[in-house]
Chain A
Amino acid sequence: MNLAAVLREARIVVTVGPGGVGKTTTAAALGLQAACQGRRALVLTIDPALRLADALGLPGLAPGEIRELPVAALAAAGVPARAPLAVGMLDAGLAWRRVIERQVPDPVRRARLLGHPYFRRMQADLAGAREYAAMEELHHLHLDGGYDLVVLDTPPTVAGVDFLEAPDRVLDVLERDGYRWLMRPALLTGKLGLRVLNFSGGYVVRTLSRFTGLDFLRELAGFVDLWSDLLEGFRQRAAAMKATLRSGVTSFVLVTAADPNLAQESRYLYRRLQRWEVRPASVVVNRMAPDPGEPPPAGWLEERAAALVAEGLGAAPAALAAAREAQELSRAMHRRDFAQLDALRELLDQCCDLLPVPHLGQEVCDIAWLEQLRRRLFEPLRGGFR
């Protein structure tokens, strides 16, 4: 399926890729394309860096806020949009609070959980918690957000795939009863302490406590006890999410650049996706150096340089030599990038269409530039390589 068809049909599109390849801006351009097809799309980023706001020229976009760009605003920037485009950045803390508010009906327990020091730390950006929260938020917005399409931009490489595995990991923990094993006595007695821990785990808990400190285990167990209200719902949603991400509703787009530094990383990501029984619908290869065209006929530069020197422009020989150098350097970069494209195709087992996108010459910093990127992606004849 080509990328335009993916954006007409998918309900969730997940962009994955190494860092620094324009993954977030590509996700935004995919959302823009959906808007041009008349679908209500939300572009959601979970990257801790504030790239989406940068790319859209929305400096005031706060984490956790979802802002809608109306059709008129998109049209003013030259986008032939037929639906508005919503954009939002995930705020892990806020997402966690929303989960708690949706899932814990008892206000007393809810307040204790929200006020627990471990919870406060967890929502304050400890690595790992973000992925869980993102999964919840994506699921919620997919089901209840009223969007035709949610485009999710994941953090670079390893963390990005961690996100995909978050439902698996949560299920793994729950299904293997790791938590329940630690918690069960607490759930039975309603209180938790050294005595209970000793009964439950005995030798194992004592050894663990030498590792973490007993107080740490006790606090964690207290936290887990509070958290237990969420577990069953979590299990159901994690299973549902896993099914959704693997179903035809969801498409994956691998975004990379023709940079030899990134080829192995792209392959690694592709393999991780494969292990996950998912194949990217498309591979977008960003920032390809454009073809600098033909050099002038032999002798032309020297002739012109001499003529310009005669007119009093002493810098002409050096300036024209520099122009030649710039064109040749550009050609070398163009060749390098296309050689890399071929190498990348091999590394990805010829799995899918590679979509080369020429370098825009500047970074996307507002909607008009984003539209340039969208055209290069979806109207290759107008925005292609010369």
Chain B
Amino acid sequence: MQAPAHPPALAPLLARRLLALTGKGGVGKSALAAALGLGARARGKRVLLAEVRAPRRLPALLGVRVEDDALRELQPGLLWVNLQPEAALEIYAMRLLKLRAVYRAVFEQRMVQSFLRAVPGLAEILMLGHLRALVDESGCDLILLDAPSTGPGAMLLEAPQAVVETAPLGALRDGAEWIQRLLTDPAACAVLLVALPEELPVNEAIDLHHRLRRGGFPQGAALLNRVLPDPFPPGAEAVFARLGTPLAARDLLAATRAYRRRLAGQRAHGERLRAGLALPVVELPELVEPAFGPQAVQRLADLLGPALGEGA
């Protein structure tokens, strides 16, 4: 956990418009995005949580049932949308075409839809375009983007630059530049890298850190999730050595050894992450919850409190 002496590492990031969470799959990006959303709202922000073609994880984590992907207010001051290329296309095209009849006549033709689906990278641009429009139009102070995991996540963020580099002048390229300006503006946007204290999540976070830096994307902090508590006092090793291998404590000592092995591994990976990133690292503990739902998310939000700073 963040020691109280540390400055609140995440507090300055709440002033930005867009925070994108990415990292290896399964590290808890969605739960942390939801928890950050609760934390930011408790500090007076109107927050939009955005997922990308996801199985609607965030409403489930917050205990809200949703039947479609459209923008809505899940709780007072906490909005949600699941970005989908089809819906984004409609929104994006309507901005250009103005008339719904024209949109229907052209874009709702299966032929045209098949054609557009086959253009690589177009889906990414459309979803980011939708997101970019929401920055201006949703009335939210902060958008938290639960981005896809490492590789696809980086590809999503890099899609606008790819279009800027390849597409000739035109509306599509203008749109990509418009998105790119936001994504590379350190006053408005930051990427948060999420990792676990394990080999591969740390490797991917470090690789991603360099890849995103090359792409010019501002990065705010790393979140190191599911850190096991360390209850052992100094000198514990000598105690266990003296204890020997009594039969009565066979299981206890085996479990302790396994646990301490995991702790040592976690510590080493945490150090590697700190050494590999030029970013503040915020730790979150392992939560042993039978079902990971709204209560666990609220606990995570509480645990993020010191890093988010006062104002709750």
Contact = CB atoms under 8 A, between A and B. Distances in A.
A143 interface: no
A212 interface: yes
Interface residues of A, number: 96
B79 interface: no
Contact of A178 (B118, B235, B290): B118
A178 B111 CA distance: 5
A50 B154 CA distance: 14
Contacts, number: 263
A326 interface: yes
A38 B138 CA distance: 60
Chain B: interface residue count, which band? Answer: 35 or more
B27 A20 contact: yes
A117 B166 contact: yes
A18 B114 CA distance: 27
Interface in A170-227: 170, 172-173, 176-179, 181-182, 203-204, 207-216, 218-220
Given A124-B162, A326-B231, A173 B25 contact: no
Contacts of A243: none
Given A20-B25, A264-B60, A330 B234 contact: no
A158 interface: yes
A260 B204 CA distance: 23
A30 to B, nearest CB: 18
Given A127-B121, A257-B26, A296 B249 contact: yes
Contact of A54 (B156, B203, B288): B203
A126 interface: yes
Interface string B245-270: 01011111111101111100100000
A226 B238 CA distance: 73
A327 B256 contact: yes
Which 4 pairs of residues, A with B, have the shortest CB-CB distance? A19-B25, A213-B170, A20-B26, A293-B251
Interface of A: 18-21, 47-51, 54, 117-118, 120-122, 124-129, 155-159, 169-170, 172-173, 176-179, 181-182, 203-204, 207-216, 218-220, 257, 259-262, 264-265, 268, 290, 292-297, 300-301, 304, 308, 311, 313-316, 318-327, 329-330, 332-333, 335-336, 339, 361-363, 365
Interface of B: 24-28, 30-31, 53-55, 57, 60, 92-93, 96-97, 102, 105-106, 109-112, 114-115, 117-121, 123-124, 148-152, 154-156, 158-159, 162, 165-173, 196, 198-201, 203-204, 207, 228-229, 231-236, 238-240, 242-243, 246, 248-256, 258-262, 265, 286, 288-293
